[in-house]
Structure 1
Amino acid sequence: MLATTEPLLQRALSGVSPTDEESLSLAGETDLQPLLEAASSLRDSYHRNIVSYSRKVFIPLTQLCRDVCHYCTFAKPPVPGERAYMTPEQVLEIARAGAAQGCKEALFTLGDKPELRYKVARRELDEMGYASTIAYLTAMAELVYRETGLLPHANPGVMTREEIAALRNVTISQGIMLESVTSRLHEKGQVHYGSPDKHPAPRLQTMRDAGELQVPFTSGILIGIGETRRERIESFLALRALHAEYGHIQEIIVQNFRAKPDTKMANAPEPDLDDLLWSIAVARIVFGPEMNIQAPPNLSYDEYPKLVAAGLNDWGGVSPVTPDHVNPEAPWPHLESLRDHTAECGKVLTERLAVYPAHALDSARWQSPEMATAVIRSIDGDGFARVDPWSPGDAETPPPVVDLPRKLDAARVVNTASRDVPEILSRAEAGLGLSETEIARLFQARGDDYHLVCAAADRLRKQVNGDTVSYVVNRNINYTNICYFRCQFCAFAKGKMSESLRGTPYDLGLDEIVRRSQEAWERGATEVCMQGGIHPEYTGQTYLNILGAVKQALPAMHIHAFSPLEVAQGAETLGISVPAFLGRLKAAGLGTLPGTAAEVLDDEVRATLCPDKLSTQEWLDVVEAAHHAGFRTTSTIMYGHIDGPLNWARHLVRLRELQERTGGITEFVPLPFVHMEAPLYLKGKARQGPTFREAVLMHAVARLALHPLITNIQVSWVKMGVEGVKACLAAGVNDMGGSLMNESISRAAGAGFGQELPPEEMERTIRVMARNPRQRTTEYGPAPEERQIASFNAPELLPLVLTPAKKYERKSPVTA
């Protein structure tokens, strides 16, 4: 090893990128193993156990090209009687076949500016009414997206700034291979002689324009075409400089030349495997841990472990439908085979979009408005592709089998677990407080890591709660759906200030609230849970009147009511402090408070999600005041919209710190975002709720992160459905919440799991999981025997009375 290499690698591993001069010194390094080890460590420090790919279709819009690269078989001269361009019908045929196979990317590839060389190309474009090949490409990309939902990525070669901008409106990413920064390859006898579009200057200018226009961009080098190793590094440095300025280079492809018959380089030597590994490793060292380094699997000698060991984290686009038209002699690996090979390397094959996660999570910056919505609706909380159709509240779609928690076979040879996850789990099970970073890491668990997290949470559940699963027989009473707050996730609220007016505004009279409470008592309930919109005419006295009416009729009924937001609003309207108002609520008969209106306790999220609601600190202050007043509360999170693992981690840490101070929280209740009718989703700004994996992880990670302070983890059957409940019961959950009798808020958002899960069904679900059901009270004591007897075989509910509030109706609905 060169004397300069070891200190360079040590600095790189400590987070210091090599300078240009240091990078160039690697050109003379022939000791491969230290480079591979450093590159692999750098990759793992950021990408951990994930190797990604994009499931795509390959659309060769035209194979005419004005360039004459001496290694290329993609470009072909015109054939008499054949079209120069694919027709829209042909384009859609390929795209529809890809959509049917679950593809998300439509990769458009084509030759550079064929109309400048071939009359037939110019004539066809004129006949179709397009000024250029790229104008036609723009139209076809828009057509494919509109008709199939596939997300276009375009590789059209050198472009003008105007062409890049036009494509930005209909693609989610673009690309151009730099191939090599050296102009030497354009001399006579070299591979790019006679290819004007392969000169590095216009290609770098295209990338510079793309950076200024904020387009996620793919580039890379082609090795083995006559360049030197130093020139490869010079190419990396040119790309690194562009990325440092604009942040738009999302991936570096290291593609190895493969000799093809009937080309001038048909007999040229191909780079050997060590040369490819050297190039991948140096790319990782030069670009650092975060960059996505790709080597196409169909060109890579089937040496998957060695390629992964060189520091790559992506296999590129893989198509289950179309061949690689640029390298037709090298078929794509079957996706299941690629998954198995990746697992053999200790990695989890993870699908992404044509735009990588970091750029996908910042779509407001990196996408046009329409394409931003398309990306947001296609990703999970980490920015990878959403790969199954399940969403919270969807009663028609079963959970994905692959994400049902399972025990791992210790004897398996293939293991994709990361090194850090078992260490974090060990700390959690020991009751040591996890950091935000550690909690966020658990939320990102995939493959074996995911199953390890679920198993650890289940062990803790058994240790703390045994095999008992509790539930409470209660009734939800939402006394009004009129609200002057404008929460962007809420489809329940109605009123003059609301964003959405599906349904009729109502404001229940005290007689209807009491009637529902009495009916609940007759059906075995021990609790009424009462919350509503923040009615502009409600005061703190309204809440006191509701308590008085119910308590007068049913002195033994436990009243679980009023979110921290309602408490704060009630105190404000009476002109008294929150502690003083809590004292009045207690005297009037309030038993416990629901820890709702928390959404996500991170003001970065709340600024968009619920900008006029309590801040994070205000919410915590109200709940802490309630605990000091002698109340116990639940705690919740409403997640899976514009948030992600770090936001969830912050939420859990804040709840844990609150519980350390007060001990007043009885349970934690994850509430996955139901997207169907939510304003933020309809505006194209939110995801389709958490994925099933994320939803299960929320319960499992909460068990681990809140241990031993909050001992009850509850699952919402309204949002998860019975099959989702079963999965969560295998991942740390010990409580199924309430039977509810009437559920309004989730159903307003589009949930389809019904209004009630009676005790018979509760206990049937619990026993299927080989657990022991226990009917409880709100504060987790045993339900009285007479209440239990009354709760089984209860009579049908009488029809609801919704006292209309004409004052808050609108003549016509408002579209989101």
Structure 2
Amino acid sequence: MSPDFLSRDLASLMREAAAVRDAAFGDRITFSKKVFIPLTHLCRDTCGYCTFVHPPRRGEAAYLTPEQVLDIARAGQAAGCAEALFTLGDKPELKWKPAAESLAAMGHATTLDYLAAMGALVFKETGLLPHFNPGLMDAADLAKLRKSSVSMGIMLESTAERLGERGGAHYGAPDKVPALRLATLEAAGKAKVPFTSGILIGIGETRAERIEAMLALRDLHRAHGHLQEVIIQNFKAKPDTRMADAPEPSFDELLWTIAVARLIFGDTLSVQAPPNLQEPGYGRLIEAGIDDWGGVSPVTPDHVNPERPWPQLDALAAESARYGKVLTERLAVYPRYIHDKAWIDPALRPRVLAMSSASGLRRDNDWRPGLVLAMPAEDVATLATPSVRPSASLAPILDRAVRGDDLGEGDIVRLFEARGPDFAAVAQAADALRKEMVGDTISYAVVRNINYTNICYFRCGFCAFSKGKLAANLRGSPYDLTTQEIVRRASEAWDRGATEVCMQGGIHPEYTGQHYLDVCRAVREAIPGMHIHAFSPLEVWHGATTLGLSLSEYLTQLRDAGLGSLPGTAAEVLDDEVRDILCPDKVSTDQWLEIMRAAHGVGLRSTATIMFGHVDRPEHWARHLLRVRNLQKDTGGFTELVPLPFVAAEAPIALKGQARMGPTFRESVLMHSIGRLALHPHIKNIQTSWVKMGIEGAKHCLQAGANDLGGTLMNESITRAAGAEHGEELPPDAMESLIASLGRTSRIRTTLYGEADRERHDAAHAAKALEPIQLEVAERWTGSLSESEKRRVLPKPRAVARAR
């Protein structure tokens, strides 16, 4: 115990606690939108303050039936809840015969067995995430219950054993013995169950005893890391209880306890206090250090405190904003447990990932990249807010970015956390910088994509394009274009006004570096004026390896054969923590950067991409941008940043439930804005992908820092294979109509951001329809590999690096 807490004045404690909280959680304050399911009001304990529990009543069932449970859950589902909070008494079958008989009639031996079944039922039928508060549990109970719940909890309440003596709040409550509660908490930590606990103040304990209880919780969390939050709940006297006339703790007493809790737990977990137990002015709890309001239900009352209605969410948001916080919805399981798959049962985790954002909070809405969906109204309205002033914590970061100062990882992560007015502030700062750097013109290129093969010997978790014996067959069949067909398509693109042909494909195990050289020469000889933008860094690595050349030697040969620039693909996210999950065989972060450095060194420029929104988090995005910025400062070789929101609809890793369903709309827009800010002044062009964002989404990005609309594409196939619905081509008239709708000027550019000449411009606007494409199935790549074929497959970059 720290005697300092007992002697310090309230105001100084609150200031220090709020500073600790702000450093850890920024400007957001969270809550969970839940539906409250009181499975049974029976309990073997009799606490002096409780009205939730009562003895069996004539004509009243001991438990909710499965139908009643589902009715409540479906009402919560309809109201947009994410959490199903199951509350119940502790082991009532051990005290009450009606409870035991009711369980037996339903085919269950214990209340916890029935709870497990009801959690599974609710999850299956509604998709709500169950959270259980069932009282004491041992290791076997926890193992059973974690299969149908994403989190659990037990209130420690107090470690003061004297409260269980005659006259004490816990007299007659065998399950409130502190040692037993602590044993359950210890078992939960060992079982890796995300857990909630807390203390109840004003039930006869002293301040010193509160501190002792919180220190006990801190020790358990330090040992196991399993406490999501600590609830500081104030006792409310209720009629018809033993403590009906007991004095309630003052509001200052609650503020003091919250501040001490924040200082004890620091930034390691959340501190929560329920808003409905306070009088008007409950926002002062924020000043004391809370970062979470707990569960709030738009459907069901607080069955533990039914006399205290939940605040309306609009009122809760307004009160939070009054104290400088943005109300943000979370899930029943906290972010740090979502990112580590050890904490959530495999059967539940896909649903958790589908409901979560990159920060591990609840997705803002149902918008997903690549799909034809309505724009999220709240985000769109936020972006339309004129002249937003950033919050005090955000403003200095924006100021430094606009000046061109290098932002650090923490700065960039903070930008990605922007919500509400700060979201608009980041977008507005980026767009003002865009205007200063490149003006009001929006550029695009007339391009044809030629993906010459979808046969690939890599198995990247996000890719729905690659086919054949070495990759999952999802859409379509394996194919391999001839050089003649590649040249035909390139020639047709030239006739339609193209300035660029973009060529990439799977890593065909029978291709060597010579194949890529031959393709370049063939296109250059047939169409000397066409810019060849081709070959991902992975293809470059493959080509150099097969010919036994250094990267620089091979890139020089490609340049001399006609290659004009490289697409910055195969980057995904430049952080090996992500790549080890997403594409473990592919080039590593350092290898990708090495290839790009070599390309820039021989005079080849390239784009830089980031494909985000799957198994990554904002800190990974920050590291990616910093690595791109640092290389650009060395070489100056990147022409643009191209954010590529992950399209999950047909991606294998998403279909297996191992990834999120792409970034949210807010995250997608922010990537464009933050790319502008974090890379300033080193990269001037930020491109938005109409294929992934859609027309309306691209418009918002072009008003949030982007200045380029990418290419007309003619034959987009990779994103389409992943399930995108926005089309294969956006012709010049459509491009320019989109740009004009923003009141901006359009221009057709070259790959390196020069001006396309008038002849190209006119040809693009007079283009005829494309000839139909006929793809011949590469039959020999549709079955299993023979042993000889397996031996011919080349080693993969990571394996080569490890061998070295």
| Structure 2 length-normalised TM | 0.96
Structure 2 partner of 1:368: 345
Aligned partners of 1:53 and 1:352 also within 8 Å: yes
1:27 aligned residue:
6
Q: What does 1:797-816 correspond to in 2, within 5 Å?
A: 797-810=770-783
Shift, 1:584, TM fit? 1.6
Tell me which residue corresponds to 1:339: 317
Q: What is the identity, as a one-letter code, of the residue corresponding to 2:679? A: L
Structure 1 vs Structure 2 CA RMSD:
1.5
Q: Runs in 1 of length 4+ with deviation above 6 angstroms?
A: none
Larger displacement relative to structure 2 (472-481 or 255-264): 255-264
Give yes or no for contact 1:405–1:727 (8 Å, CA) kept in 2: no
User: Does 2:697 match 1:732?
Assistant: no
Determine the structure 1 residue equivalent to 2:791.
Answer: none
Q: Is 2:530 the counterpart of 1:557?
A: yes
The equivalent of 1:16 in structure 2 is: none
Match for residue 59 of structure 2 among 66, 69, 81:
81
Tell me if the contact between 1:559 and 1:591 (Cα under 8 Å) persists in the aligned partners.
yes
Distance 2:106 2:384 in 1: 59
Residue type at the aligned position of 1:402? D
Q: CA deviation at 1:405?
A: 5.6
Structure 1 CA distance, aligned partners of 2:64 and 2:102? 11
SS in 2 for 1:611: coil
* One of 116, 131, 142 as aligned partner of 1:164: 142
Q: CA deviation at 1:304?
A: 2.9
Q: Are 1:604 and 2:577 matched, yes or no?
A: yes
Shift of 1:402: 2.2
Q: Does 1:387 align with 2:364?
A: yes
Contact 1:399-1:724 at 8 Å conserved across structures: no
Aligned amino acid, residue 454 of structure 1: A
Q: CA deviation at 1:365?
A: 1.9
1:28 Cα shift? 4.4
SS of equivalent to 1:138: helix
**Deviation (angstroms), 1:27:** 3.1
Within the candidate set 716, 724, 729, 2:689 is matched to 716
Alignment correspondent of 1:631: 604
Counterpart position of 1:17: none
Give how far 1:534 is off.
0.3
The 1:405–1:185 alpha-carbon spacing in structure 2 relative to 1, beyond 3 Å, is closer
Match for residue 56 of structure 1 among 15, 19, 34 = 34
For residues 198-248 of structure 1, give each alpha carbon's deviation from its aligned partner in whole angstroms, at most 9, with x where no partner exists. Answer: 111111101100000000110001111111111111111111111111111
Residues 277-301 of structure 1: per-residue CA shift (max 9 Å, x gap) = 1111111111113320111010021
Aligned equivalent of 2:795: none
Residue matched to 2:238: 260
How do residues 187-586 of structure 1 correspond to structure 2 at under 5 angstroms? 187-362=165-340, 364-403=341-380, 406=383, 417-586=390-559
Q: Which amino acid aligns with 2:158?
A: S
Query: For this pair of structures, how many residues does the alignment match?
Result: 785
Measured in 1, the distance between the counterparts of 2:7 and 2:209 equals: 12
Q: Deviations over 1:9-53 (max 9, x none)?
A: xxxxxxxxxxxx32x442344x21111111111110101111100
What is the CA distance between 1:161 and its match in structure 2? 1.5
Alignment partners' CA distance in 2, 1:541 and 1:409:
56
Asked if 1 retains the 8 angstrom alpha-carbon contact of 2:379 and 2:666, the reply is no
Q: Structure 2 CA distance, aligned partners of 1:259 and 1:808?
A: 74
User: Which residue, out of 792, 808, 813, partners 2:765?
Assistant: 792
Shift of 1:754: 0.6
Other structure's SS at 1:696 match: helix
| Separation in structure 1 between the aligned mates of residue 614 and residue 23 of structure 2, nearest angstrom | 27
Q: Please, which moves more after superposition, 448-457 or 396-405?
A: 396-405
Tell me whether 675-684 or 323-332 shows the greater mean CA deviation.
Answer: 675-684
Equivalent residues of 2:444, 2:747 under 8 A apart: yes
Q: 2:120 aligned with 1:142, yes or no?
A: yes
User: 8 Å contact 1:563–1:597 — kept in the other structure?
Assistant: yes
Q: In 2, distance between residues paired with 1:805 and 1:536?
A: 13
Q: Pick one of 670, 681, 689 that aligns with 2:643.
A: 670
Residue type of the alignment partner of 2:187: D
Of 720, 724, 743, the match for 1:747: 720
Q: Offset at 1:259?
A: 1.1
| Equivalent residue letter for 1:778 | T
Letter in 1 for 2:523: V
Q: Hey, what's the Cα distance between the residues in 2 that align with 1:531 and 1:788?
A: 25
Identify unmatched segments of 5+ residues in structure 1: 1-20
**Larger mean Cα displacement after TM superposition, 89-98 or 786-795:** 786-795
**8 Å contact from structure 1 (residues 407, 455) kept in 2:** no
**1:14 matched residue in structure 2:** none
CA distance in 2, matches of 1:401, 1:330: 30
Distance 2:5 2:622 in 1: 40
Match of 1:435, as an amino acid?
G
- 1:396 deviates by 2.8
Give per-residue Cα distances to partners, 1:153-187, cap 9 Å, x unaligned.
00011112111110111101000001111011111
Give 2:363's aligned amino acid: R
Native 8 Å contact 1:403 1:693 kept in 2: no
Aligned residues: percent identity?
59
**2:491 is paired with a residue of what secondary structure?**
helix
Q: Distance in 2 between matches of 1:241 and 1:556?
A: 70
Q: Which residue pairs with 2:154 in the alignment?
A: 176
Once the two structures are overlaid, the 10-residue window that deviates more, 274-283 or 497-506, is 497-506
Q: In the alignment, residue 503 of structure 1 is paired with which amino acid?
A: G
User: In structure 2, what is the equivalent of residue 769 of structure 1?
Assistant: 742
2:78 to 100, 112, 116: 100
Q: 1:794: Cα distance to partner?
A: 2.4
SS in 2 for 1:57: strand
Quote the residue 2:788 is aligned against. none
C-alpha displacement of 1:713: 0.3
Q: What residue in structure 2 maps to residue 649 of structure 1?
A: 622
Task: After superposition, give the CA deviation of every residue in 1:291-335 in whole Å (9 maximum; x if it has no partner).
Answer: 201110100212233111010010000001111000000000111
Counterparts in 2 of 1:800 and 1:399: CA distance versus 1, 3 Å: farther
For the residue of structure 2 that corresponds to 1:290, the secondary structure is: coil
What is the CA-CA distance between 1:811 and the residue it aligns to?
A: 8.4
Q: Which deviates the most, 470-479 or 264-273?
A: 264-273
Q: Distance in 2 between matches of 1:291 and 1:484?
A: 44
Whichever residue aligns with residue 543 of structure 2, its letter is G
Contact 2:457–2:507 (8 Å) recurs in 1: yes
Opposite residue 755 of structure 2, the aligned amino acid is P
Matching residue's letter, 1:145: F
1:78, distance to aligned residue in structure 2 (A): 1.2
Q: Deviations over 1:639-685 (max 9, x none)?
A: 11111111111111111111111111111101111111111112221
**Which stretch shows the higher mean deviation, 158-167 or 399-408?**
399-408
| Structure 1 residue 540: Cα displacement | 1.1
Deviation at 1:793, TM superposition (A): 4.5
1-structure distance, mates of 2:377, 2:146: 34
Shift in Å, 1:696: 0.6
| SS of residue in 2 equivalent to 1:591 | strand
What is the CA–CA distance in structure 1 between the aligned matches of 2:607 and 2:294, rounded to whole Å? 46
Tell me which amino acid in the other structure corresponds to 1:26.
F
Check conservation: 1:405, 1:731, Cα contact below 8 A.
no
Distance in 1 (alpha carbons) for counterparts of 2:216 and 2:625: 43
Q: TM-score, normalised by structure 1?
A: 0.94
Per the alignment, residue 6 of structure 1 pairs with none
* Helix, strand or coil at the partner of 1:592: strand
Residue 340 of structure 1 deviates from its aligned partner by 1.2
Counterparts of 1:555 and 1:798 in 2: how far apart (Å)? Answer: 22
Aligned to 1:13: none
Whether contact under 8 Å (1:43, 1:311) holds in the other structure is yes
C-alpha distance in 1, partners of 2:401/2:75? 47
CA contact (8 A) 2:469 2:784 kept: no
- Which residue identity lines up with residue 492 of structure 2 in the other structure? E
Aligned letter for 1:279? Answer: T
CA-CA distance at 1:511 after TM superposition = 2.1
Check 1:227–1:547 CA distance in 2 against 1; reply closer, same or farther (3 A cut). Answer: same
